[in-house]
Every structure is written in C-alpha cells, then in structure tokens.
Amino acid sequence: MLALKYSTFKFEAGTDEAGRGCLSGPVVAAAVILPSDFKHEMLTDSKQLSEKKRRFLRPIIEKEAVAFGVSFVYQHQIDEINILNASILAMHHSIDNLKVVPEFIIVDGNKFKDYKEVPHRTIVKGDSKYLSIAAASILAKTYRDEYMERIHVEFPQYNWSKNKGYPTKEHRQAIREFGATEYHRLSFKLLPEQLKLDLK
C-alpha cells in the first residue's frame, strides 16, 4: 500500500517525469497535491499499470487533486541543456502550474534542484511508495503518450503510437532507414553503431 505523505505539511506535492530515456519527443513532468483523505486502491506507479488503467485513473486524479500541473520540455531544449536538466526543468514548470503553492515537494528519483524556498526530498522509486508521486507519474505518462500518438500521424514509419519514442529495435530500424526527424533528440545516441566507422 502506498503512503499518502512523506511530510506533515498539508500541501505536499509529488512530482515525476516521463520520457527521459526516449530517442524522440519531449520529456513531460507532472506535479500533484492530493487531499488528505485521498484513497484509490488501483493507484500505483504508472509503469506497473496498463495503458487502459492509466487512462482510467487520469480523470480521477485531475478531479480529486487539490491541484495538478503538467509541463513539456521539447527535444530542442533537451539537446541544449541535457536530459537531466530538462527533466528537472519540466518538474519545476509543472510545480509552477499548480494553483496551490506547495509547502513541501517529494520527487521521484535522486536528482533535483531547489525549487524556490520550498523544502524537498528525493525518493528513489518514489512512484511506488507515495500516492502523489504515483499520480504525477500517471499524468506525465498519459499526457506524453497522447502527444506521441499525435506526432505519429506525421511520421507513421517510426510507429510512435506504439513505442512512444523509446529505443525499440523497430524504432532504431526506422531511424536507419529514414534518418532522424525534427522530433528526434540529436544529442542522444540514436543508433548503437553511431560511434563506429563504416568501413564497407
């Protein structure tokens, strides 16, 4: 069973991101403040839920939350500032988008930068320990998946509606055949052979 809170503050925000390891598309973060009486037996880390369950939970989270925010940092900026900084920036922007100022922030993972004067705590595997981080992981994942499904229409050969930009064999084969698009992260190693010399 996931815990509701880490701190004793009333307005504790959980934040998480989705798409950090992808070769294309944005990194998306969400922040969620849940009410003190929030319960939902299905809510857990988005990676442990089916797409259908994530889509079912999203409107419940958005309706029940005291506040939620979502933010996108796109591939061009990821290439400029690197994926770690982009992930943290997306989390900061998602907290900016909360209509209630948090008194404490819990963050999935082990890397974060101070957000204004608000105290925070990083928690490894936080999305499987705390409800607000799990809720944030579901929002980040569902918003990002929808975006990848939309851009799939422009470039169906990469099958982003299925792989969501992750480095699957199929996605890498499409990069081999068709090259990179404006949505690809050019600072990433798009193909394993990128660092080898082609001596054929």
Q: Evaluate whether 30 touches 137 at the Cβ level (below 8 Å).
A: yes
User: Which domains can be identified in the chain, with CATH numbers?
Assistant: 12-146 (3.30.420.10)
Q: Evaluate whether 18 touches 144 at the Cβ level (below 8 Å).
A: yes
The reported pLDDT for the residue numbered 199 is 43
Calculate the CA 11 to chain-centre distance. 21
The answer, as to whether pTM is greater than 0.75, is yes
Burial of 2 (0-12, 13-18, 19+ CB in 10 A): middle
Please list the residues that pair with 105 across neighbouring strands. 13, 120
Q: Which H helix or E strand runs over 160?
A: helix 160-163
Say if strands 12-18 and 120-123 run parallel, antiparallel, or are unpaired: unpaired
pLDDT tens-digit series, residues 81-135: 999 999 999 999 999 999 999 999 999 999 999 999 999 999 999 999 999 999 9
Low-confidence residues of the chain, pLDDT below 70?
A: 194-200
Per the structure block, which two tokens stand in for 30? 């969400």
The reported pLDDT for the residue numbered 47 is 86
Q: Evaluate whether 57 touches 40 at the Cβ level (below 8 Å).
A: yes
Q: Evaluate whether 42 touches 59 at the Cβ level (below 8 Å).
A: no
- Which strands make up the sheet holding 27-33, listed edge to edge? 67-73, 27-33, 12-18, 104-108, 120-123
